[in-house]
């Protein structure tokens, strides 16, 4: 089946620093990637949709200058949390799909803890 | 009213029991329905995918969609301890677009 990886799997950083999370599709070309955030005991909430070569589309309430998304190739998307604060601590999960695929395949997630 | 409602549980059953998990939704435009399984601190894994109304069976899992009632179900037969996880329903109105998730139901199957 389709495999999506994320790196790092977990990261701890100081408040005010920036953190980059990578999402890779390992065995398919992902024309669309999605970034979700999941707080404890909550559901996944969509942050943004990213199409290769285009600017990401952000959901209402998600600051695009704080959560920078780059989808420069068909197998890689990155999410950079700039000037991270403790309230940004969460589980960040990406998913990916190719053009003819109706479903999405999720990565294993990245747990971010901002001290 | 949230777009997708799902009882978070927890739901505890003995091994071998039949498990019924459900979601209701308010957006009649939803046409694509999915069930994901998520183990603790892991990403969701696609279990079942259904388009529009109807039933779909895959091994011990059966997914049902009733669009007239805006109600979807996942049944797990002969439940196993390895089925212990959080089950998330998800749906969308167009193929390949972002998913709207339920909160997830935490299931515990005891041996």
The better pLDDT of the pair A39, A53 is held by A39
pLDDT at A102 exceeding the cut of 80: no
Q: What is the mean pLDDT of residues A75-87?
A: 95
pLDDT at residue number B27: 93
pLDDT at residue number B106: 95
Q: Say if A4 is an interface residue toward chain B (CB within 8 Å).
A: yes
Q: What is the mean pLDDT of residues B33-56?
A: 91
In this complex, which of A44, A102, A109 lies closest to B101 when CB atoms are compared? A44
Q: What is the mean pLDDT of residues B57-63?
A: 96
Task: Tell me the percentage of chain A whose pLDDT exceeds 70.
Answer: 99
Our CA-based measurement puts residue B60 at a distance from the nearest CA of chain A, in whole angstroms, of 20
Q: Report helix, strand or coil for A81.
A: strand
pLDDT at B98 exceeding the cut of 70: yes
pLDDT at residue number A90: 96
Q: List residues bridging with B5 in a β-sheet.
A: B24
Distance of alpha carbon A34 from alpha carbon B98, whole angstroms: 7
List C-alpha distances in Å: B29 to B18, B33, B52: 30, 11, 10
Query: Residue A86's closest CA among A37, A36, A17, A40?
Result: A17
pLDDT at residue number B41: 82
Is the CA virtual torsion B22, B12, A91, A38 positive or negative? Answer: positive
Q: What is the mean pLDDT of residues A43-70?
A: 92
Q: Which helix (DSSP H) or strand (DSSP E) does residue B52 occupy?
A: none
Q: What is the mean pLDDT of residues B40-60?
A: 91
CB contact under 8 A, A43 and B103: yes
pLDDT at residue number A99: 78
pLDDT at residue number B94: 85
Q: Give me the residues of A, 15-74, that contact B with CB < 8 A.
A: 32, 34, 41-46, 49
pLDDT range class, residue A78, cuts 50, 70, 90: very high
pLDDT range class, residue B1, cuts 50, 70, 90: low
pLDDT at residue number A20: 97
In this complex, which of A34, A93, A107 lies closest to B98 when CB atoms are compared? A34
């Amino acid at each position: 089946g389709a495999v999506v990886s994320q790196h790092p799997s977990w990261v701890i950083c100081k408040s005010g620093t920036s953190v980059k999370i990578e999402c890779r599709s390992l065995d398919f070309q992902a024309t669309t990637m999605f970034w979700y955030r999941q707080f404890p005991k909550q559901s996944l909430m969509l942050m943004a949709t990213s199409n290769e070569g285009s600017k990401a589309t952000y959901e209402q309430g998600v600051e695009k200058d704080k959560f920078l998304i780059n989808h420069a190739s068909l197998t890689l998307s990155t999410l950079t949390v700039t000037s991270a604060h403790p309230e940004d601590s969460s589980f960040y999960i990406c998913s990916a799909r190719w053009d003819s695929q109706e479903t999405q395949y999720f990565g294993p997630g990245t747990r971010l803890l901002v001290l | 009213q949230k777009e997708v409602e799902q009882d978070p549980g927890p739901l505890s059953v003995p091994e071998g029991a039949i498990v019924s998990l459900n979601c209701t939704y308010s957006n009649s435009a939803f046409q694509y329905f999915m069930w994901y399984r998520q183990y603790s601190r892991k990403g969701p894994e696609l279990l079942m995918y259904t388009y529009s109304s109807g039933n779909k069976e895959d091994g011990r899992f059966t997914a049902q969609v009733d669009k007239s009632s805006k109600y979807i179900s996942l049944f797990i037969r002969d439940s196993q301890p390895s089925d212990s996880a959080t089950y998330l329903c998800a749906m969308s109105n167009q193929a390949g677009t972002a998913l709207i998730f339920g909160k997830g139901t935490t299931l515990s199957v005891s041996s």
